[in-house]
Structures are given as structure tokens and as C-alpha cells.
Structure 1
Amino acid sequence: MSGIIGNIVTDIGGKSLDALWKRASVISNNIANNDTPGYKQKYVDFESQLSNALSNNTLSESQLDEIKPVIKEYDGTYGANMNGVDMETQLIELTRNQLQYSYMERSVHESLSMLLSAARGGK
């Protein structure tokens, strides 16, 4: 992933940005299918995988490479047309995801800025 220049923090940040981008796409697809009969609401599983990998405090770059966002389906139905989209929840999740993306983007930028500063000898 990052090789010599980066570090595990920026690698995790990059992976998180990818997962958040995918989540935004899945949520948007859920919203677009709000009126599609029989559609099952989907979600992205990423944080649980990352948490499990970090739990033993020995996460390597090769282990991090194996962690990928996975799209899963919710069970059950919510709407009158028997589709699985809960619009209120999806709009809240979309907003939450946008905030998380902005925060993570800032964090990765700051981490890379610190690496650049270090490479320039603190100048």
C-alpha cells in the first residue's frame, strides 16, 4: 500500500475513505429504489472488519489489504409496497456518512502534511 513514504495511519485512512465512498453509493442506490417493490435495502460492512483486525494491535499492511467494504442486504420490509427501504434512516445515514467522509479526508490530509513536513526537515 503505502510503502516507505506513508504509514499505517494513512493507509487506514485511505481504506476508510474508499469504504465511505462505497457506502455513499449504496445509500444513494437505496434512496433511488425507495419506490421499487421488493427491493431490499443494502448497507456496507467495513468498520466491524477493521475493528476486528485492530483488536490484537498487530495489524500489518498485508492484513489491511485484505479488509474490504462488503455490501450486505437488510432482512425485513418497511414500506407499504413491501420494499426494504426506510427513507428516514437512509437520509440520516447519508448525512452521517458525508460528515464522516469530510472528517476522514481532513485527517488523511493532516497526516500527509505531517509526513511532508518531516521529509522537508520540519520546514
Structure 2
Amino acid sequence: MAISFEKAFGMHPEAMLVRDRRAQVLAENIANADTPGYKAKDIDFQQALNNAKSRQSGAMSRTHDQHFNISTSSQYDTKFRNPDQPDTGDGNSVDIHRERNAFMQNSLEYQASLSFLNSRISGLKKALTGGGQ
């Protein structure tokens, strides 16, 4: 009986990839908080996850060895964020407090997915090795 990793792990691997990319985008925002003209960006996590679900449900399968394996999972739409504060005169739209909070929230959610995956892997390992060790 084959193990289906998609069934065992669900969307958590894809969610971790989206969260990793979002952490990069938020870190860029934080790093450019004092850069004149820099516009804050973000990734719509829910939209990226919905796109991943639709790709997973309608996944293309390779029918021949010479076909390309097409994967678009690393392409997430980054969008400019609407600023919460008025322009300070330099055109920068980064709110450092908002970015730090978003970065921390994203980090916590990444850790939650990682913990879930670790527990699933541990459960699969116990099932394969016979359990009580």
C-alpha cells in the first residue's frame, strides 16, 4: 500500500512555501523602511493558497518522459500594500510597526505548520517502524 504524501500532509508543505516567500517580502519591506520612494509589498496568503489548491486538484500529469514537469508553486503574486499612514514626503509607504507585526505573525504561522508536519512525519514513521519505540 503506497503512502500518499498529499493526503498525509495536506496543504501544509505549500503553505510553508508561501509563508517562506512572504517572510522574504516582509523582510525586504523592513530593510527598506528608510529608502525614499520604496513601496511596501505583501503576498495575499489566502489567494496564494487557493491558487495552490486549484493547481493541486487540477494538477497536470506527465504522460511522456520527455514532457516538461511544469511547476508554478514558486510564483506568488506580490502586491503593493495600501499605506495606512500619510506620505511623509519621501514617498516611502513602509509602516515599520505593521511590517514587524506581520513578520512575527507569519513566523508563528510558519512554526505552526512546521510543528504539524513534524507530528505527521513522526506518526508515519511510527506506523512504518511498528510503533512503540
TM norm. shorter chain > 0.5: yes
Unaligned 5+ segments in structure 2 are 61-70
Q: 1:14: Cα distance to partner?
A: 0.9
The answer as to whether partners of 1:40 and 1:75 remain within 8 angstroms in 2 is: no
Is 1:38 aligned to 2:27, yes or no? no
Is 1:62 aligned to 2:59, yes or no? yes
1:108: which partner in 2?
117
Is 1:72 aligned to 2:79, yes or no? yes
The answer as to whether partners of 1:77 and 1:83 remain within 8 angstroms in 2 is: no
Q: TM-score, normalised by structure 1?
A: 0.76
CA distance in 1 between counterparts of 2:59 and 2:124 reads: 22
Q: 1:97: Cα distance to partner?
A: 1.0
The answer as to whether partners of 2:12 and 2:113 remain within 8 angstroms in 1 is: yes
Q: 1 or 2, which has the higher helix percentage?
A: 1
Q: TM-score, normalised by structure 2?
A: 0.71
Pick closer, same or farther for the CA change 1:12–1:107 going to 2, 3 Å.
Answer: same
Matching residue's letter, 1:16: A
Aligned length: 117
The answer as to whether partners of 1:27 and 1:94 remain within 8 angstroms in 2 is: yes
The answer as to whether partners of 2:16 and 2:114 remain within 8 angstroms in 1 is: yes
Unaligned 5+ segments in structure 1 are none
Question: Comparing 41-50 with 96-105, which one deviates more in the overlay?
Answer: 41-50
The answer as to whether partners of 1:33 and 1:39 remain within 8 angstroms in 2 is: yes
1:21: which partner in 2?
20
Question: Comparing 78-87 with 14-23, which one deviates more in the overlay?
Answer: 78-87
Larger-gyration structure (1/2): 2
